[in-house]
């Protein structure tokens, strides 16, 4: 939620701050697109005033603005906003300044005590311009500023409650950017004669692959040639430099109309990569977690949204194959319900970004309770990755579209690999592993048939209600399918366990309803057959997703989509590709932008 960037160079050369900031903000637009803004100062011309440009709406509005009103300078910060405090408007857009306009701040996070701070500042004569919590920070920095921006920011940090990643520039010290963080991510990219800062590594990659990840309560002084990082007591700390080898290509659209479609189509490849990262010569390599896996008698998994749905699928597979009980929870519930955690519990958190505030807190609670935590995450160096005891990386590469697709299926691959590791029956384990090995190729067969789904969507995209149902892991995947559709097409969609239909939801079925029945549990085909007939009898149109070679639904459902045959418990990887594509094409048919769904941001760093 909200992206921040910063750039500083010694002297204006080929690249200028304004262009770098805009370019970097483009890569972070997935974090929010309610408004965007930049602030620039100039260390070559210290007389030049701090200049701000900001505009409500998409980044393109800011780009238009600076075409007619460019800013010049060596040092700048930028912001792309997902509104929390105050409606999306020019005035509430970041950067925010102090009264004199000498100090500018961009902020990702929420200042929880902002009402108290605002009152205090008003009592000291400050007149606020915006409704944001962030503006308090700019005024407080001014209040503590005595010619040294690092000290002023450090003093202000002591007064802030809540979460923040901050970048600050100041007209009196145009040769530095000060950054600070607590509970929101912040990365520093190291260049030659320039440095950058950003909320994640994607904007940095075009300029540098050497990065430093700031820890909570640290503050850094970033000049064009140096980075000095201080802890909360003002003592200089050594922060290791990490090399990022993410493929830049995966952060480009490469001819696809949208990132989402590209990411759906990448799934065969990234599923393969995720499998190969952990399996060598037919054996699973989870060495570093073997000791926990071996003694696990109970599994606890938490995540939010799509990541929670991966946990849901995991519950079915681990209980079925490994015969170990699994409890799952959404992180925002888990963290407040005083969960019971035992020594031998295998605790897993799932998070694409590795920065989701609730998931992070849930993980910290698990650790406080003495558990060792395995993180399944996509982002190397993310907070979840750094704080977990062990990490299984999904090899999805950067996921840019707000709605998660390839990160989800690679999360599934990771939980299935963990299922294999937990499964003591070697024959069962080997069979499962050989199915997983083929998953990339089978996913390709589904992706290759996207035109069929596109056609189906062009006939059905106007349905006002879409219900997904299934049994066992088909129910779990129905939850994800319904989420995907509502996120990007804004259609009212819900998921039900098929057997629950008669206990209430069937009252909603009428001739404006589409029902997608996932039917990949052969021993339950008869039950699904009855459920489909029940909704059809009430006017619904139906699509059944089932295995190739199964003709049981041909005469029952209006349409049938066949996926390659595999084990019913891992079929979710394939069936969800069908519903991802359906959601994507519905969104496009409805004239929406599937990469930037309204009201959503990719990285939910506020609670
Ligand atoms: C849906 C989606 C969200 C995320 C959720 C958790 O498409 O992307 O539901 O899954 O916000 O995010 P991460 O996985 O980054 O913790």
Does 600 map to a domain? Answer: no
- Residues 556-564 have a mean pLDDT of 97
Class of residue 125 by CB neighbours under 10 A (exposed 0-12, middle 13-18, buried 19+): exposed
Give the per-residue pLDDT at 490: 94
Active site residue 520: no
Cβ count near 276 (within 10 Å): 12
Nearest to 359, CA basis, from 391, 332, 337, 341: 332
Give the per-residue pLDDT at 251: 67
Q: How far is the CA of 603 from the centre of ligand 1 (A)?
A: 7
Give the per-residue pLDDT at 359: 96
Give the per-residue pLDDT at 474: 98
User: How many structural domains compose the chain?
Assistant: 3
Whether 263 and 216 share a structural domain: no
Whether residue 411 contacts residue 304, with contact meaning beta carbons closer than 8 Å, is answered with: no
Give CA separation, 108 vs 130, 260, 399, 432, in Å.
16, 25, 20, 43
> Which residue segment(s) compose the domain that 216 sits in?
3-245
Does 366 map to a domain? Answer: yes
Q: What is the DSSP string of 191-208?
A: -SSEEEEESSSTTTTTT-
| Ligand 1, atom nearest to 484 Cα | 7
79 φ, ψ (degrees, to nearest 5): -150, 140
Whether 85 and 208 share a structural domain: yes
Cβ count near 386 (within 10 Å): 14
Does 605 map to a domain? Answer: no
- Residues 47-70 have a mean pLDDT of 92
State the DSSP code for 590.
Answer: T
Q: Do strands 390-393 and 373-377 pair parallel, antiparallel, or not at all (unpaired)?
A: parallel
Q: pLDDT of 273-328, one tens digit each?
A: 999 988 887 788 776 777 788 888 999 999 999 999 999 999 999 999 999 999 99
Nearest CA to ligand 1 atom 7: 403
Whether 32 and 96 share a structural domain: yes
Q: pLDDT of 403-434, one tens digit each?
A: 999 999 999 999 999 999 999 999 999 999 99
The percentage of the chain sitting over the pLDDT mark of 90, rounded to a whole number, equals 77
Whether 235 and 346 share a structural domain: no
Domain ends where: 179, 214, 245?
Answer: 245
Whether 90 and 123 share a structural domain: yes
Residue 233 sits in a domain whose CATH number is: 3.60.20.10
Give the per-residue pLDDT at 484: 97
Q: What is the DSSP string of 332-373?
A: HHHTTS-----TTEEEEEEESSS--HHHHHHHHHHHHTT--E
Give the per-residue pLDDT at 178: 98
Q: pLDDT of 140-198, one tens digit each?
A: 999 999 999 999 999 999 999 988 999 999 999 999 999 999 988 899 999 999 999 99
Q: How many Å apart are CA 56 and CA 59, to the nearest integer?
A: 8
Q: pLDDT of 451-503, one tens digit each?
A: 999 999 999 888 889 999 999 999 999 999 999 999 999 999 999 999 999 89
Q: CA angle, corner 29, sides to 26 and 32, nearest 5? A: 160
Whether 213 and 286 share a structural domain: no
341 φ, ψ (degrees, to nearest 5): -125, 130
Q: pLDDT of 345-364, one tens digit each?
A: 999 999 999 999 999 999 99
Provide the 3-class DSSP secondary structure of residue 160. Answer: coil
Whether 139 and 237 share a structural domain: yes
Residue with more model confidence, 363 or 28? 363
Nearest CA to ligand 1 atom 10: 306
Q: How far is the CA of 597 from the centre of ligand 1 (A)?
A: 13
Q: How far is the CA of 594 from the centre of ligand 1 (A)?
A: 15
Active site residue 420: no
Whether residue 260 contacts residue 403, with contact meaning beta carbons closer than 8 Å, is answered with: yes
Whether 410 and 494 share a structural domain: no
Does 604 map to a domain? Answer: no
Give the per-residue pLDDT at 606: 65
Average pLDDT, the chain: 92
Pure H helices in 72-203: 114-123, 134-144, 149-157
Does 379 map to a domain? Answer: yes
Those residues whose C-beta lies under 8 Å from the C-beta of residue 211, and which sit 6 or more positions away, are 187, 188, 189, 190, 201, 204, 241, 242, 243, 244, 381
Does 599 map to a domain? Answer: no
Nearest to 276, CA basis, from 442, 440, 446, 443: 440
Q: How many Å apart are CA 320 and CA 308, to the nearest integer?
A: 19
Whether 525 and 435 share a structural domain: no
Whether 104 and 158 share a structural domain: yes
pLDDT at position 388 over 70? yes
Query: Which of 302, 404, 489 has most ligand 1 atoms within 8 Å of CB, for mutation?
Result: 404
Whether 285 and 225 share a structural domain: no
Q: How many Å apart are CA 306 and CA 133, to the nearest integer?
A: 29
Whether residue 317 contacts residue 419, with contact meaning beta carbons closer than 8 Å, is answered with: yes
Categorize the per-residue pLDDT at 2 as very low, low, confident or very high, splitting at 50, 70 and 90.
confident
Instruction: Give the binding-site residues of ligand 1, using a 6 Å CB cut-off.
Output: 304-307, 351-353, 356, 359, 403-404, 483, 487, 604
Residue 503 sits in a domain whose CATH number is: 3.40.50.10490
Class of residue 280 by CB neighbours under 10 A (exposed 0-12, middle 13-18, buried 19+): exposed
């Amino acid at each position: 939620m909200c992206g921040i960037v910063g750039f500083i160079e010694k002297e204006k050369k080929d690249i200028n701050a304004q262009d770098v900031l805009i370019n970097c903000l483009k890569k972070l637009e997935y974090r929010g697109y309610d408004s965007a803004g930049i602030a620039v100062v100039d260390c070559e011309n210290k007389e030049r005033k701090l200049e701000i440009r900001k505009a409500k709406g998409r980044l393109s509005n800011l780009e238009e603005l600076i075409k007619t009103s460019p800013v010049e300078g060596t040092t700048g910060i930028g912001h792309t906003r997902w509104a929390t405090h105050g409606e999306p408007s020019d005035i509430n857009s970041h950067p925010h300044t102090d009264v004199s306009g000498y100090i500018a701040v961009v902020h990702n996070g929420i200042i929880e005590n902002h009402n108290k701070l605002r009152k205090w500042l008003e009592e000291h004569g400050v007149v606020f311009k915006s409704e944001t919590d962030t503006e308090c920070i700019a005024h407080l920095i001014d209040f503590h500023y005595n010619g040294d921006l690092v000290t002023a920011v450090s003093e202000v940090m002591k007064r802030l409650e809540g979460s923040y990643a901050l970048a600050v520039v100041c007209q009196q010290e145009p040769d530095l950017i000060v950054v600070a963080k607590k509970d929101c991510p912040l990365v520093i990219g190291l260049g030659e004669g320039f440095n950058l800062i950003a909320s994640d590594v994607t904007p940095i990659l075009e300029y540098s692959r050497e990065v430093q990840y700031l820890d909570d309560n640290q503050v850094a002084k970033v000049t064009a040639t140096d980075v000095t990082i201080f802890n909360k007591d003002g003592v200089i700390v050594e922060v290791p430099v990490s090399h990022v080898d993410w493929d830049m290509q995966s952060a480009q659209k490469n001819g696809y109309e949208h990132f989402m479609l590209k990411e759906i189509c990448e799934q065969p490849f990234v599923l393969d990569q995720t499998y190969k990262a952990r399996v060598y010569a037919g054996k699973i390599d989870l060495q570093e977690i073997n000791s926990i896996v071996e003694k696990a008698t109970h599994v606890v998994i938490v995540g939010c949204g799509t990541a929670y749905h991966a946990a849901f699928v995991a519950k079915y597979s681990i209980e079925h194959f490994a015969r170990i009980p699994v409890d799952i929870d959404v992180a925002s519930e888990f963290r407040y319900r005083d969960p019971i955690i035992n020594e031998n519990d295998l605790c897993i958190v799932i998070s694409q970004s590795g920065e989701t505030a609730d998931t992070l807190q849930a993980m910290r609670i698990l650790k406080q309770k003495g558990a060792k935590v395995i993180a399944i995450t996509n982002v190397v160096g993310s907070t979840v990755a750094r704080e977990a005891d062990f990490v299984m990386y999904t090899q999805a590469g950067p996921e840019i579209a707000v709605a998660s697709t390839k990160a989800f299926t690679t999360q599934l691959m990771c939980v299935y690999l963990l299922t294999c590791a937990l499964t003591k029956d070697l024959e069962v384990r080997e069979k499962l592993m050989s199915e997983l090995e083929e998953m990339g190729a089978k996913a390709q067969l589904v992706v290759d048939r996207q035109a069929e789904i596109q056609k189906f969507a062009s006939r059905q995209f106007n349905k006002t209600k879409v219900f997904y149902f299934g049994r066992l892991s088909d129910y779990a995947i129905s939850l994800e399918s319904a989420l995907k559709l509502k996120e990007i097409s804004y259609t009212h969609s819900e998921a039900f366990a098929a057997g629950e239909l008669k206990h209430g939801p069937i009252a909603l079925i009428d001739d404006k309803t589409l029902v997608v029945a996932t039917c990949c549990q052969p021993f339950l085909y008869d039950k699904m057959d009855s459920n489909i007939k029940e909704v059809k009898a009430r006017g619904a149109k139906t699509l059944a997703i089932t295995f190739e070679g199964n003709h049981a639904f041909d005469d029952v459902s209006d349409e049938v989509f066949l996926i390659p045959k595999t084990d019913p418990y891992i079929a979710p990887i394939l069936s969800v590709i069908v519903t991802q594509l359906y959601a994507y094409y519905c969104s496009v048919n409805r004239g929406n932008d599937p990469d930037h769904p309204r009201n959503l941001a990719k990285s939910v760093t506020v609670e």
